[in-house]
Chain A
Amino acid sequence: MDIDLSPDDLAFQKAVETFLDDNAYKPGTDYFAWRLDWFAKAREKGGWDVPKWPTAFGGPGWSPTQHYIWQRATATRQTPMDLPFGPVMLAPMLMQYGTPEQQERFLPDIRARRVNWCQGYSEPGAGSDLANLKTRAELSADGSHYVVNGTKIWTTAAHMADWIFCLTRTSDTGRKQEGITFLLFPMKQAGVEVKPIITLGGAHTVNMVHITDVKVPVENRVGEEGKGWAVAKGLLQHERTGIAGISNSLVALERLKKRAASVTRPNGTLLDDPGFRTKIAELEIDLMATEYTELRSLAAASSGAAPGPESSILKLKGTDIQQRLQKLTMQAGGLFSAAWGGGKVGPSFAREGMSGYLSSRAYTIYGGASEVQKDVIAKNVLGIARSETRMNKRGDK
């Protein structure tokens, strides 16, 4: 057990930094062309475009240390915008549950970032209780396709997505977790209607998706009919690790310090203010510990196993840290944070003060609300009954 980087790791770090610096975006050039080119070049490096993919599917086969080096390096440098739905979430599920034909059909476009995906999970009646989903998929008489009807909600980036991976119900018998089927279909077709939902920060990132009589060929089903819950759950584990955002928080912490130091006070700056300083220190201490919790989780996962229930700790701690960072940024801006961006008053960081803070409140809701995460830890890690079980017993009386 040691924390020194080996000569090989140092060489790797240098190579990563050189790659990122050499391929940085040049202002004024075509962003989307650069984005696709960046991923192509990262691929040529030996799977750097898909760091977490197994080597059998073209991933780099990095050690935990190398993943750590990559995360830290990419957090401090500009990399192309990349939504997790295709490469981070769906791809591992296709590798585990998909047919060779499905892998061949979908993985190359995911990898090249040619096709954008969105996640059809939550519904108006199925949030924390995801298994309660009602979107129907009826198999046609000839068995060639499903007809899908229902409504999905909180669908991030649905308005920019080409395809959706969608949880549907094919049977009402048995437990709620049974009878769920995992389907893939294109977004740009009649019967798929995307309605924006504007959130408190004023942003449009999530949507309502209405699905009406959409035909989905059976070959677009991942896993067996009625067995989609296993796929859905496996995918959520991948969603929850990525959500912690430790590397980004480390960068955001330094940014917060700089911002606080730019707010002048009669005897120095806001960073010299004992109260504000103490809050930043408390945050930094939590972040230092969480950084190592993440490293331990990375090391465990390096054996090839899927991230286990301990990834729930990372989501809880990571999102709490992100929210506190946003809160302190808002507070550093003082009353200027109350002006919407168009006000153009006060320091420029304050212009996203309250809207950034408000958006951050979703971190403890999406990808499994914090209360549900704690249930998962109680049940799967501590081995104690969760309240849901008790509830059901009480309801049975």
Chain B
Amino acid sequence: MNFDLSEEQQLIVDSVRRFVDDNYDLEKRKKYTSSTRGFGDDNWRTMAELGWLGLPFGEADGGFGGNQIDVMLVMEQFGRGLVVEPYLPSVVLGGGAVRRGGSAALRSTIVPAIIDGSAQLALATMEDQSRFDLNDVLTRAGDDGDHWTLSGSKTMVINGGSATHLVVSCRTAGAQYDEAGITLLLVDATASGVEHRSFATVDGLQAAEITFNNVQVPRDNTLGEPGNGYALLHDVMLDGILAICAEAVGAMEMLYKDTIEYTQQRVQFDHPLSDFQVLQHRMVEMFMEYEQCKSMLLRATMEVAASGSGATRTVHALKALVGKQAIFVGENAVQLHGGMGMTEELRIGHYFKRLLVIDAMFGNADHHLYRFAA
């Protein structure tokens, strides 16, 4: 039993933390999110140069051979800084699908581009009717020998507007809700028949609605076995949930600490708010829930790193707990900041917004609670 970071892991944490301190505050973040691509181009280059974009890829593919624990360390720091660069969609989600399901030939062309930052990926799974169900797929791909012909539409695709490549779930067999018959394809975002419409999300990031109209996708771009994409998607999703929960834990830490600081400074009734017992207890609860989420994050991440999808139930537990308690911490951070907590001026509101989106991503707390209980 050992929760200590290795020397290498501590180096990752230190360097990401330094990056966040140097490049992130509310003003700078606003500048990034209001730029054309919705993030900092220089930041993205820095992440590539420091090797973070190659962290989870195999050494044979030019990566660092890291695992979910390494990604967790990065994402937790990103959560503390409210980092907006598309690390999650490109490296964890899209990259995770390519890493697991791409042929050696495909990996040799795309993975180096992901690692050097020139390629950006997005995972396109959600459809208008699918809510949180990855098996609910109407987008279809017809088998035309050397290529697939893809038609349908995806929605709420995070980073869909900036991505050079899209990992798309589609149906090559079976009916709407069947797990069998789902195939994952790597689609060139500039291919003929691909159209996207980008829009801002509540957390300052960007998502897109993407339509595919008879898009020809080379057969070599199939990720995993045709018809067996669901299992692959499931594993990618476990990584995705671990990553956003790590981000959430980082954000929760900032929220409870900012709240303590604010209540020590804010004087009402001739006392700092932090003197009032009812508020002290509330902050103790915020702190406890943060620590509990962190414990569950470590548990789920280490279990997945050790046994992959065998740890699915723990990941459901993690997402259910983090979704619920992140909102608890966010709501109370706003409440204890009073009117100031309601403004765009303080950073706590921005952490809160990101946590709301994190809860709604990949299935909210209720969804995972039912899966856990099932």
Contact = CB atoms under 8 A, between A and B. Distances in A.
Contacts of B267: 125
Given A200-B349, A200-B353, A371-B278, A275 B136 contact: no
Interface stretch (B28-36, B81-89, B290-298, B332-340): B332-340
Contacts of B342: 199-200, 361-362, 365
B131 interface: yes
B369 interface: yes
Interface stretch (B44-52, B105-113, B198-206): B198-206
B25 interface: no
Nearest to A370: B335
Contacts of B352: 200, 358
B344 A338 contact: no
Contact of B155 (A330, A345, A388, A392): A345
A199 B279 CA distance: 23
A223 B345 CA distance: 37
A395 B271 CA distance: 8
Contacts of A365: 334-335, 338-339, 341-342
B2 interface: no
A224 to B, nearest CB: 25
B207 interface: yes
Nearest to B334: A361
Interface string B340-374: 01111100010011001100110010100110000
Interface stretch (A70-78, A97-105, A234-242, A263-271): A263-271
Given A335-B361, A354-B202, A361 B335 contact: yes
A137 B279 CA distance: 34
A334 B131 contact: yes
A182 interface: no
A338 B202 contact: yes
B339 A127 contact: yes
B269 interface: yes
Nearest to A126: B268
Contact of A264 (B129, B276, B338, B360): B129
Nearest to B209: A345
Contacts of A387: 276-278
B131 A392 contact: no
Contacts of A366: 339
B277 to A, nearest CB: 6
A132 interface: yes
Interface in A316-371: 330-331, 334-340, 342-346, 354-355, 357-358, 361-362, 364-366, 369-371
Identify whether the interface residues of B are mostly helix, strand, loop, or mixed.
mixed
A127 B342 CA distance: 13
Contacts of A276: 366
Given A338-B202, A340-B202, A362-B342, A266 B356 contact: no
A384 interface: no
Residue of A153, A334, A388 with highest tally of chain B CB at under 10 A:
A334
Residue of B177, B268, B339, B356 with highest tally of chain A CB at under 10 A:
B339
Contacts of B370: 275
B331 interface: yes
Interface string B228-249: 0000000000000000000000
B344 A200 contact: yes
A163 to B, nearest CB: 23
A154 interface: yes
Contacts of B360: 330-331, 334-335, 337-338
Contacts of B364: 331, 334
Nearest to B354: A338
Nearest to B348: A200
B251 interface: no
Given A342-B199, A362-B339, 15 more contacts: A122-B339, A127-B339, A275-B370, A331-B360, A334-B360, A335-B361, A339-B207, A340-B201, A340-B202, A343-B201, A358-B349, A361-B342, A364-B335, A391-B269, A395-B270
Interface of B: 126, 128-129, 131-133, 136, 155-156, 177, 199-203, 207, 209, 267-271, 275-279, 331, 334-335, 338-339, 341-345, 349, 352-353, 356-357, 360-361, 364, 366, 369-370
9 contacts: A331-B366, A335-B357, A338-B356, A339-B156, A340-B200, A340-B202, A345-B155, A361-B342, A387-B276
